[in-house]
Amino acid sequence: MTDLTHKPVDELTEAEADAELARLASAIAAADIAYHQNDAPEITDAEYDGLRRRNDAIEAAFPHLVREDSPSMSVGAPPAEGFAKVRHGEPMLSLAKAYTDDDVLDFIERGRRFFERDKDLEIAFTAEPKIDGLSASLRYEKGVFVQGATRGDGTVGEDITANLRTIADIPERLAGSGWPDVIEIRGEVYMSYAEFQALKARSAAAGGQDYVNPRNTAAGSLRQKDPAVTASRKLNFFAYAWGYTTADPAPTQFESVQKFAEWGFRVSPLMVRAQSAEELIAQYRLIEQQRSSLGYDIDGVVYKVDQLELQRRWGFVTGEPRWAVAHKFPAEQATTVVRSIDIQVGRTGTLAPVARLEPVTVGGVVVENVTLHNEDYIRGIDSKGEPIREGIDIRIGDTVVIQRAGDVIPQIVRVVLDKRPAEAQPYQFPHVCPVCGSAATREINEKTGKEDSRRRCTGELICPAQAIERLRHFVSRGAMDIEGLGAENIDLFFQAGLVRTAADIFTLKDRRPEVQQALAERREAQARQREAASGKVRKAVRAVEERNYEGLDKLFAAIDARRNPELDRFIFALGIRHIGETTAAVLARTFGSMEELIRVGKLTAAAADPASVFPSVDGIGGTVVGALVDFFGNERNDDVVEALLAQVTPQPYVVNVSADSLVAGKTVVFTGSLEKMTRSEAKAMAERLGAKVAGSVSAKTDILVAGPGAGSKLKAASDLGVEVLTEDQWFARIGK
């Protein structure tokens, strides 16, 4: 079937439009359930808004095709099972979206056209931050809080009264006077950045779950069966609207919200009244600039007609008020402040600068740190000396715009120069290692004669930071893959003096009492951090700790299981600079055993002309040979490797290229989610059968093995006429 997802609406046939509306209805319904019910969105806000806009555009072009289950006919998602249902006195509607200044101007112009007969009428508007949390409706009768509910599908929500009562911002009784006999106060429940970070820290200390962002965490906290858990999360509430009421709070939107403040609610201090589109957009810009300093998530600014009488006259369209619109911030970017610049030392000694930011949400994820790559990048130039970010350097205190490249990796897009503090000074990159004090130098590239862009610590094995990173690398999935020995335990055992080199890992079982003591001391430290937690939480934590304690034998067994690693894994695990998984496989295939690699490495390191000694190997260039010379020519590494080989015996690399191998000499690419083997296992298997494994599809590719979720590589293979196999077909081909 033809892919219609990107076909312009005005080019769709009626049958194609019908099919697209069906697809969009299904996709949006699934996204609504993930966001509103499960508190675990599966797509970004920008992607969701794109689906909604396309659905609306198709319905406008083909009004006779509007479906009964159209997303334009519904709000949110049905209430989840497990909570009593609450029917709202007035529907809780969604808001129309504006993405550009022109959209805002269009909103204002529509209002002026609607009221154009009222020649002397002055329409006022309000502007306020759009809080990114969970909408809630609070019913008060004679000033007493009697029931609270989620939005649900807009008509029926979930009864979460007990949980809402734990929020300090929600009064049990309204203060002041003048409140109606019955009123449904509406607003947003949210979690501050400070509480979010505190919760993450408490959970990490207890070995609990990680949390992705404040919005999902707040929503999940509000839906807890035990209100005590909700109370422990310190949620907040902003009031900004109302539903059913026996009397208007005041004649205007702005005055009504100020009444809420008199009655004991928190309201946004950034809410203003304006007379023009220009004033509204100016407030939008102001709020956008202050976004990173608010301490909680917002994703736009909401504009509303101020006069309640005019709101009623302008009325509603399906699911939305005509008199309000949400001006969304760009989903991919956000503005924040650089609090500090820290230097981290990697396993190869690289000094990696990291900017610590005021926390801000970008694409649904809280971003606090962003890599600054190297000192040239901080100065505003690239590896060729060309200016980036208009040549503007990055300083502590700078206001910066960040984005997540590919919706994954945070990066700084630009510096807001007119907000730079007067006292901000250019960052001075350290010339000594911040961990061990050894000199940190920039090497000269032999080919170009230019300085390397990265500065490296010369301390090597005497540098604790490099030692820890090397150990973390050694046990990682692509290397020795020792289950249960992750970064946290490596750090613990290193600080306790139990593991200083890789060989020490394989003697941990002989020092069981010391290992148990280190784990016990960590548990005691964690317990001290959790004294404020509820008894139920402490009990759950103790259960986790007991399971971890019982898992010690499993850890020792996992270590023993890796005493005969594959040769390519072992070479990669050594952490030799410039030798990744692919190069390690080439070395394993070339030399066959660790003893032979060491012999040739030593001869090469001792030679006046290393290139004349090291054999010519396809895929091994001067950079890798230089790295091997540095490693095997460093006597401090000899004892480390010798001690390690006394504990483990890497398997000789054997290539099973039989006469009837159907893949020998073929170039193979693996893509998608492989289900019967890991990517590294698939690669090793193919290479042992004489195949060459590549990372991308080209005209030289012979076979593409595609698992579920295969994307661009599968399309490229189809375009180039490359043979495509499933995993089962691959196993059949190689006779497994």
Which active-site residues does the annotation give?
130
Q: 3-class DSSP state for residue 669?
A: strand
Helix axes 581-591, 679-688, angle to 10 degrees: 30
Sign of the CA dihedral 171, 177, 178, 181? positive
Number of Cβ within a 10 Å radius of residue 530: 14
Pairing outcome for strands 723-725 and 703-706: parallel
Chain length of the chain: 736
Helix axes 535-550, 512-529, angle to 10 degrees: 170
Q: Decide: 632 and 594 in contact? Cβ < 8 Å.
A: no
Kindly give the residue spans of alpha helices, DSSP state H, lying in 3-121: 14-32, 45-61, 101-114
Sign of the CA dihedral 234, 236, 242, 247? positive
At residue 723, what is the residue type? E
DSSP-derived secondary structure letter, 692: E
Tokens linked to 717: 């293979």
CA nearest neighbour of 572 among 673, 670, 680, 494 = 680
- For tokens 């911002």, name the residue: 169
Q: 3-class DSSP state for residue 367?
A: strand
Number of Cβ within a 10 Å radius of residue 570: 24
Q: 3-class DSSP state for residue 157?
A: strand
The C-alpha atoms of residue 432 and residue 345 are separated, in whole angstroms, by: 11
C-alpha distances out from residue 261 to 96, 254, 423, 516, Å: 27, 11, 39, 55
Q: HEC profile for 519-581?
A: HHHHHHHHHHHCCCCCHHHHHHHHHHHHHHHHCHHHHHHHHHCCCCCEHHHHHHHCCCCCCCH
CA nearest neighbour of 148 among 134, 163, 160, 166 = 160
